[in-house]
Amino acid sequence: MNGKVHYWIVCDAVAYIKNYGTPLQKRALQSFELAYGQRKSIEEIPASQSAMERLAGFESWHTDKFGDLSLRVPGFLWKTKRNLTGLFGHTFTAFNHFINPHPDGAKQWSTGSGYSYNSSSMKGFDAFVVKGISVYLRGLVDEDNSLVLNRVRPAWTKGVSEWRDNFEREIVNTTFVPWSVLVKFYYSYFLFDQKEPLEVRGPNSHLVGLQLLGPVFHAIADACSPQHVRPALGFGHQAWENYVQSRVYTRQIDLNPAIISKIMSEGPFSPELTASEGKLTGRFDVESFVYQLSVKTAETVSRSTSSTWSELYKAGENFWKWYLTGLQMEDDTMYLYNQAVAGTVHVITRAYHDLESLGVLTHDGLRGHAHLPCLKCIQDDGIDMPAKTLDGRDAPAEETRPDPLRKASEILGFEPSRDSDIQKLIDEFEALFTKSGPLRRKGREFADLLGKMETSVVQEYGLRAQQVNVPFCPLRLVENIPVDSDVSAHFGVETFRLPSLAECKNSTLFSNYMDKLDEHADVAHKLELTLCAADLAYFKTTCELNESRSRRIDGLIDTLHQERDETV
């Protein structure tokens, strides 16, 4: 799910409880409002203004932006880069937002299996990002700077040496933690330690109180996404999420009380899951709940496609494009969205029950409220919470998310000189790429344009160094996603506009939309590779290097050129 959809799921869960909830659900929502929000009846709180929406909903929206997983990249020739939490507007924590509910091999984690390149698509965006980071940068998990590792280590089923091996080898061979495991940490912290600020490296750098339910809600929604239970960065991942966001925004997908009621009458909602061991003994087994939601999602897609999960997991691009443009898409997205809303309602109720049984929450609010830190929320600094349309029209212009690699200033990191031709070359390349078609994108003309752009970038770096009159390094390795942006943290597709209502309703138009989405990403990837090659070329001109080091840089530049000029 895209970020704003995560927020809307929380809002719809609140709306469901207000309008259709059981007495227990209403009591839970009211108690949370008294404890963390206003001393008013929940019925008096306007839509989107309850504490559940403002605090937990905000954090669910922004969980993708947490920088809790870091890489170190020995591949940089002058020194190892450590604590790298993002690259080109993406955050590595996204690796932990997948679940494979039916892994073929022995599980390394207590439930499910996480993202693993060797069981992903290993093509397209998976190959470009994950294999690229491994091959070109020799990327490894940075154990010293990854907050997430100590939090999930208790769920590791293997030994110490296997743990070390898993996180000390290049990321193409690393198995990341599944959401079902990580969510248990957040929920436990909410129950037992919510007054102690938890560092998350997100828009709010520390979470307390109700904010801690945000990542839990986020995990619930991801477990209801076919692209998150079939861990692959490509194969229509962003197309599915954009489709859902567009239809939720225009209320074509909306809160459906009948679907939610049916979902909540079945497993894993009924009978209720309760942990039988560990710190959560006798309380909500949130880990099993998220895992079983992922199983339900896999079963939903299996029924729609008359395929076994083993077949779905191995299916390639042609299958997923057929699924994304098929008649089952509309029904599946409506059902799975409401499954996520139902899951959120269930967590609200179970969390209330657990806090009440611990004596943390009473009928009059939060016990020891004065001890809860008053951390200023970033959304109080003028961030507008997203709203759906009221008239069913297509998403407005601001939902056509700007690509960070389409302006010369954004590629360089500064305004180009007056005589720079970089913007002209970017525009020429994109226009040529768009009109040429897939079979004619490996010609000399493309390589020549990007070669000229690379030369111009290096020249601009030199001019910039003269202007600032200090040692200048052009490598902008970590890019934080703006807090009010809905740019996906998942790799491979950069940013692209949402599909129109017409495109969502017509399979031919939506197929064309997906082609444009892929095309848009291909352009961005070629610009990324050009920028990387220019960075290395500039580095070589500014440093005194011995012969072996110089040859190594030349070899890496040649590899980047080959990837850029021969792979589309």
Peptide bond into 271 cis (omega under 30): yes
Report pLDDT for 478.
44
Domain ranges in the chain are 3-69+96-102+178-389, 414-473+506-566
In this predicted model, what pLDDT tens digit does every residue of 163-208 receive, in sequence order?
999 999 889 999 999 999 999 999 999 999 999 999 999 989 999 9
Q: Is the pLDDT of residue 232 over 60?
A: yes
Q: What is the mean pLDDT of residues 426-446?
A: 77
Residues 527 and 529: their CA atoms lie apart, in Å, by: 5
Report pLDDT for 491.
46
Choice between 563 and 106, residue whose per-residue pLDDT is larger? 563
Residues 297 and 409: their CA atoms lie apart, in Å, by: 42
Cβ-contact 156, 163 below 8 angstroms: yes
Report pLDDT for 547.
85
Residues 534 and 5: their CA atoms lie apart, in Å, by: 37
Length of the chain: 568
Task: Round the CA-based radius of gyration of the chain to a whole number and report it.
Answer: 24
Report pLDDT for 421.
94
DSSP E strand stretches across 306-456: 361-362, 365-366
Report pLDDT for 91.
79
Q: What is the mean pLDDT of the chain?
A: 86
- Partners of 362 in the beta sheet? 365
Which string of b and e fits 404-443 if b means at least 16 CB within 10 Å?
Answer: bbbebebbbebebeeebebbebbeebbeebeeeeeeebee
User: What's the angle, vertex CA 182, arms to CA 270 and CA 10, rounded to 5?
Assistant: 60
Q: Output the pTM of the full model.
A: 0.91
Residue 138 CB: number of other CB atoms within 10 A? 16
Q: Is the pLDDT of residue 474 over 70?
A: no
**Residue 79: pLDDT band by 50, 70, 90 thresholds?**
low
Q: What is the mean pLDDT of residues 550-556?
A: 86
Lowest-confidence pick of 142-151, 202-211, 245-254, 466-475: 466-475
Helices (H) then strands (E): counts for the chain: 23, 9
Strand, helix or coil at 196?
Answer: coil
Report pLDDT for 238.
83
Residues 103 and 73: their CA atoms lie apart, in Å, by: 29
Cβ-contact 112, 101 below 8 angstroms: yes
DSSP-derived letter for residue 153 is G
Report pLDDT for 522.
79
Cβ-contact 98, 178 below 8 angstroms: yes
Cβ-contact 198, 208 below 8 angstroms: yes
Lowest-confidence pick of 49-53, 89-93, 228-232, 387-391: 89-93
Report pLDDT for 493.
47
Task: Select from 441, 445, 457 the least CA-distant residue to 532.
Answer: 457
Q: Is the pLDDT of residue 568 over 50?
A: no
Q: What is the mean pLDDT of residues 228-250?
A: 86
Tokens, residue 401: 């998310």
- Partners of 199 in the beta sheet? 206
Q: Give the contacts of 86 (CB within 8 A, at least 6 positions apart).
A: 67, 92, 478, 479, 480, 481
Q: Is the pLDDT of residue 285 over 60?
A: yes
Strand, helix or coil at 416?
Answer: coil
Strand, helix or coil at 90?
Answer: strand
Report pLDDT for 234.
73
Q: Give the contacts of 341 (CB within 8 A, at least 6 positions apart).
A: 9, 12, 13, 16, 255, 260
Residue 22 CB: number of other CB atoms within 10 A? 12
Report pLDDT for 382.
74
Q: Is the pLDDT of residue 442 over 70?
A: no
Counting Cβ atoms within 10 Å, is residue 545 exposed (0-12), middle (13-18) or buried (19+)? middle
Residues 489 and 486: their CA atoms lie apart, in Å, by: 9
Question: DSSP characters for 338-364?
Answer: HHHHHHHHHHHHHHHHHHHHTTSEETT
Report pLDDT for 531.
84
In this predicted model, what pLDDT tens digit does every residue of 18-45 receive, in sequence order?
999 999 999 999 999 999 999 999 999 9
Peptide bond into 268 cis (omega under 30): yes
In this predicted model, what pLDDT tens digit does every residue of 486-501 receive, in sequence order?
655 544 444 678 888 9
Q: Is the pLDDT of residue 341 over 90?
A: yes
Residues 546 and 557: their CA atoms lie apart, in Å, by: 17
Q: Is the pLDDT of residue 48 over 80?
A: yes
Q: Is the pLDDT of residue 5 over 60?
A: yes
Q: At the fourth CATH level, which superfamily is domain 3-69+96-102+178-389?
A: P1 Nuclease (1.10.575.10)
Q: What is the mean pLDDT of residues 513-538?
A: 83
